[in-house]
Chain A
Amino acid sequence: MNRLRWLLVPVVVVPVAWLLFTGLGRDPRDIPSPLVGRPLPVLAGTTLTGEQFSTVDLVGTPMLINAWASWCIPACVIEHPVLMDAARRHAGELALVGLMYQDTVSGARAFLARYGDGGWPHLLDPDGRMAVELGITGPPETFFVDAAGIVRAKNIGPLTEADLDRLLPLIGVAR
């Protein structure tokens, strides 16, 4: 019977070891988006300040598309200073665009008044169609788009300095 124990190796031990080896090495926040490697869908509409805006106008400049909401607490509150800092540090070489996710104009304005307004446009998405185009499941989610308009990465959850260090070079922005 001792010899039969060796059959446990291929039947049980090898699959379990393989699952652990491949599963534990993955970042649970690293959820692949089908949009990565493809052109950013055109996002166009009215902004929080009432102006007309389209991402087409920004082609040629690397950009961050940040889906957020004033009710997204604390995640959106936590990442807001990181976005403010990125906008300040990379002024002129990186464009930021906010996309309001299931939010009200008054709620979003109150959020910016309280936590700071970096001056970048925030697109309203009253019918949620732009969020569907981006495949957003819940804020905050941030897309890293290069100067050619190709999505290079998607970050789910509050953006951190470490995320920026890792992902900005993918769109040609040095940290």
Chain B
Amino acid sequence: MRRQLLLVAGAALLALAGLGVVATLRPAPAPGIDQVAAQVAAELRCPDCQGLSVAESRTAAATAIRAEIAELLADGASAEAVRQHFVDRYGAWILLDPPNPWAAWIPALVIALGLLIAGWWVLARRPRSSPAPRPAGAADAAVRRELEELDA
């Protein structure tokens, strides 16, 4: 009886694990046009107000852009194509998060700056000049004398 219970519990656990895997691997349902429209509107800058997206603003320009986004998506345009449609009219400025043309240079700049700082550090630690030779003192003379006595 106990073994049967364990088997049932094991089978239930396996079934649950299987369901979890299926649920994880199953592709998420494609977002509807309204969701895509809201997402694109949130990524575009309102042209006639400050610091607001097209989704947040109620100005005439933002309203016109929202209507155009909905029309373009309904006509089958992709979200990327819709974004590009407005970039073609306003420039990359219309994107709240425009692509940064300097991004590719940032790693190279960081490395160059690191090398400069490292060079600076090495130069700063290097002794300014080599120490002057120590003049032969009384101790050296004594040692020399002892060596001469040993040689004799």
Residues of A within 8 A of B (CB): 1, 3-4, 7, 10-11, 32-35, 102, 127-129, 131-138
Counting CB contacts under 8 A, is B60 at the interface? yes
A35 to B90, CA, bound (A): 8
Name the residue on A nearest B59 (C-beta): A102
Residues of A contacting B87 with CB < 8 Å?
34
Binding site for A on B (CB under 8 A): 47-48, 60-61, 63-65, 67-68, 86-91, 94, 113, 116, 119-120, 123-124
Additional 6 contacts, C-beta under 8 A, given A34-B87, A138-B47: A4-B120, A127-B67, A132-B61, A132-B89, A133-B89, A135-B89
Question: How far is the CB of B135 from the nearest CB of chain A, in Å?
Answer: 29
Across chains A and B, which 6 residue pairs bring their CB atoms closest together, nearest first? A128-B64, A135-B89, A135-B90, A137-B47, A128-B60, A102-B60
Cα distance A1–B87 in the bound complex, in angstroms: 51
User: Given B63, B90, B123, which contacts A34 in the complex, CB threshold below 8 Å?
Assistant: B90
| B123 and A3 form a contact (CB under 8 A) | yes
> In the bound complex, how far is the Cα of B90 from the Cα of A32, in angstroms?
9
A3 and chain B: residue at smallest CB distance = B123
Residues of chain B within 8 A of A136, CB atoms compared: 47
Which secondary structure dominates where chain A touches chain B? Answer: loop
Q: Tell which of B90, B94, B120 has the most Cβ of chain A within 10 Å.
A: B90
In the bound assembly, the distance between CA atoms of A135 and B68 in angstroms comes to 13
Of all chain A residues, the one with the shortest Cβ separation from B92 is A34
Given known contacts A7-B119, A128-B61, A129-B68, is B48 in contact with A137 (CB within 8 Å)? yes
A10 vs chain B, min Cβ distance (A):
7
Structural contact, A35 and B89, CB atoms closer than 8 A: yes
The answer to whether A132 touches B68 (Cβ under 8 A) is yes
Give A151 to B58 CA distance when docked, in angstroms: 30
Q: How far is the CA of A133 from the CA of B60 in the complex (A)?
A: 14
> B64 to chain A: which residues have CB within 8 Å?
127-129, 131-132
Contact B60 A32 (CB under 8 A): no
Given contacts A3-B123, A7-B120, A138-B48, contact A34 B61 (CB under 8 A): no
Chain A nearest CB from B43 CB (Å) reads 16
Q: Roughly how many angstroms separate A111 CA and B68 CA in the complex, as a whole number?
A: 30
Which of A1, A32, A137, A138 has the largest count of B CB atoms less than 10 A from its CB? A137
